[in-house]
Amino acid sequence: MSGDRQARFEQGTWSDEPALLVRVRAHDLAAFERLYRRYHPRLSRFVTSLVRRHGLVEEVVNDTMMVLWDKPESFGGNSKLSTWLFAIAYRKAVKARMRDDEPVADEEAAERADDDAAPPDRDFGRQRTAAILQGAIGELSPDHRAVVHLTYFQEIGYREIADILGCPVDTVKTRMFHARRHLRRKLSGELADWI
């Protein structure tokens, strides 16, 4: 979430959510669709950081949204709706990953990184960096990837991440510490000018 987007949220751009939730409780499909289209991109990207097969990503996202549709009363309002949805998506992704017997590390991403580790070329520097970074992230465990994703891409605070992942806040900080160290090590040769 960009700073601008975060500011819009805090200013109440999404202040329609309580009303939408009331309508969802009454099985108003239009309200459900609005929340689906709002959260589908964020949930999809988050789940993609946990499971790799695209069909499985959509399955987890849709199953997550169905919890909102089937049991809207289970959202007590003690957290943001996004936190609640991310937490459900995380649990479902973990189960799906175990059921689907996915490899822990993203071996394809690591291979892509190796393939792209060609001699430096200024014209392709940015793509190179992105490829190496993707490979390095792919080498992390899913739980470490989740923390990196929720921190850097979703821009969620560590306490909220702990709520989503169902772990202590110190675990979130430790995972992030090790993940950053791994990413910096992998990128140190490529980006020595800024790491």
Partner 1 sequence: MSNVIPLHGDPHETAQRLLPWYVTGTLDAAEHRLVEDHLAHCAECAADLAGEERLRAEVAALPDAPPERPAAQWELLRERALASAASSRRGTSWWSALPTGRRIALAAASQAALVLLGIGVYDRLRQPAGGDYHTLSAPSAKGEQGGNIIVIFRPDSPEQAFRATIDAVGARLVDGPTAAGAYVLAVPNGRREAALATLRKRADIVLAQPIDGERAE
Q: Which residues bind partner 1 (CB under 8 A)?
A: 3, 6, 27, 29, 32-33, 36-37, 40-41, 44-45, 48, 53-56, 58-59, 61-63, 65-67, 69-71, 88, 91-92, 99-101, 129-130, 133-134, 137, 140-141, 143-144, 148-149, 151-153, 155-158, 160, 168, 170-171, 173-180, 183-184, 187, 191, 194-195
What is the nearest approach in angstroms of partner 1 to the Cβ of residue 61?
8
Indicate the burial class of 161 (C-beta count within 10 angstroms; 0-12, 13-18, 19 or more): buried
What is the nearest approach in angstroms of partner 1 to the Cβ of residue 91?
8
Quick one: 100 or 114, whose CB is closer to partner 1? 100
What is the nearest approach in angstroms of partner 1 to the Cβ of residue 4?
12
Question: Cα–Cα distance between 167 and 106 in angstroms, integer?
Answer: 23
Question: Cα–Cα distance between 145 and 175 in angstroms, integer?
Answer: 9
Instruction: Mark 179-188 as b/e (b = at least 16 C-beta within 10 Å).
Output: beebbeebbe
Question: Cα–Cα distance between 44 and 169 in angstroms, integer?
Answer: 24
Question: Cα–Cα distance between 48 and 42 in angstroms, integer?
Answer: 10
Quick one: 17 or 39, whose CB is closer to partner 1? 39
What is the nearest approach in angstroms of partner 1 to the Cβ of residue 99?
7
- Which amino acid, residue 78? N
Quick one: 81 or 183, whose CB is closer to partner 1? 183
Quick one: 17 or 92, whose CB is closer to partner 1? 92
Residue 120 is given by DSSP the state P
What is the nearest approach in angstroms of partner 1 to the Cβ of residue 140?
8
What is the nearest approach in angstroms of partner 1 to the Cβ of residue 82?
13
Quick one: 14 or 42, whose CB is closer to partner 1? 42
* Residue pointed to by tokens 């960009």: 2
Quick one: 163 or 175, whose CB is closer to partner 1? 175
List all residues 6 or more positions away from 135 whose beta carbon is below 8 Å from its beta carbon.
109, 110, 111, 112, 113, 114, 116, 186
